[in-house]
Amino acid sequence: MWFRFPPGAEAINVQRQTFRSEHAEGGHNFFRAPPHFAPQILQLAGFAALDPLAPPGDLAPEPNPERDTVLSNLGAQIHALQGQVSDLQSGSIAANSKLVAMTAERDKLLAEISKLKGQLAAAKPDEGLIAPDEDEDEDGGPVTLDVPQQSLRRVK
């Protein structure tokens, strides 16, 4: 941001930073300083801020349509990228919420499995909590299957 010194001044210290005259015109000296220093500079007698779009004298940039077009395109690209970043942040937040919910559900299921394993370990078959093995016959022996010989094929 451009500022104008009062007549006769050529330097100023603001928060331990020194700003010196960079341009002289019409009996005034001009200097640049970051905009956040403006309130402190402008409260001093004789100092003035210049229009940021109209720097003093010959320091104004010359019109350059090619540069202006490039800057305009870059501004549009930045705006589009900011939109993409916003969309990605929203998607990330949604995915994170879903992950938190799924993790809570998983923890709940693991606790239920642990509880059921404890009940299973403590249960006895005659209490009806454990069904007899299905691969045993009524007499407690192995199950036999009658399969006709014709239905068996040799697999190579």
pLDDT tens for residues 42-80? Answer: 888 888 888 766 666 656 566 778 888 888 899 899 999
Whether 149 maps to a domain, the answer reads no
Q: Which domain holds residue 27?
A: 2-53
Whether 27 maps to a domain, the answer reads yes
Which parts of 21-64 fold into alpha helices (H)? 38-42
pLDDT tens for residues 73-117? Answer: 998 999 999 999 999 999 999 999 999 999 999 999 999 999 999
Whether 140 maps to a domain, the answer reads no
Query: Hey, is 149 helix, strand or coil?
Result: helix
Residue closest to 41 by CA, chosen among 16, 12, 8: 12
Number of structural domains, the chain? 2
Residue closest to 31 by CA, chosen among 64, 67, 44: 44
